[in-house]
Amino acid sequence: MEPCLLLLLLEKPSHGYDLISRLVEFGFGENQDPGMVYRNLRRLEEQGMISSRWDTAGAGPARRFYEVTGEGTDYLAAWAQTIRQHVKTLEKFLEWYEALRKGERPSST
């Protein structure tokens, strides 16, 4: 969840409620536990990946507004590299699996 929150905040600094609704785009359920999201946001802030400030503009109670820090952007880049490597590994696995299913010899490249 943390990389997804960082990516959403990189796209657009937001309030927690907005982030909860946008997590659906990554396969998280529509009934996502808000407490879990806010715990992750708090952890990311403690780690210096995001910063927050109170937004008192507009009607209604003040809400926290979150945005990615430089450290969070670097962390997200590292996550993207890790994911790229995992995608390559999974693609290779699927190639081997499909070859074996067809009774062929998997390529070693």
For the chain, the structural domain boundaries read 2-101
- What's residue 19's pLDDT? 95
Is-above-0.75 flag for pTM? yes
Q: Average pLDDT over the chain, rounded to whole?
A: 93
- DSSP letter, residue 55: E
pLDDT band at 13 (very low <50, low <70, confident <90, very high): very high
Measure the CA–CA gap between 96 and 102, rounded to whole angstroms: 10
Backbone angles phi, psi at 30, to 5 degrees: -65, -25
- As a CATH number, domain 2-101 is 1.10.10.10
- What's residue 108's pLDDT? 75
Both tokens of residue 88? 């390559």
- Please give the residue that has the higher pLDDT: either 31 or 85: 85
- What's residue 77's pLDDT? 96
Long-range contacts of 71-74 (CB under 8 A, 24+ apart): 71/47, 72/6, 72/9, 72/10, 72/44, 72/48, 73/10
Give yes or no for a contact between 76 and 3, defined as CB atoms under 8 angstroms apart.
yes
pLDDT reading at 106 higher than 90:
no
- What's residue 81's pLDDT? 96
- What's residue 109's pLDDT? 65
Q: What is the pLDDT of residues 47-87, one digit of tens each?
A: 999 999 998 887 788 899 999 999 999 999 999 999 999 99
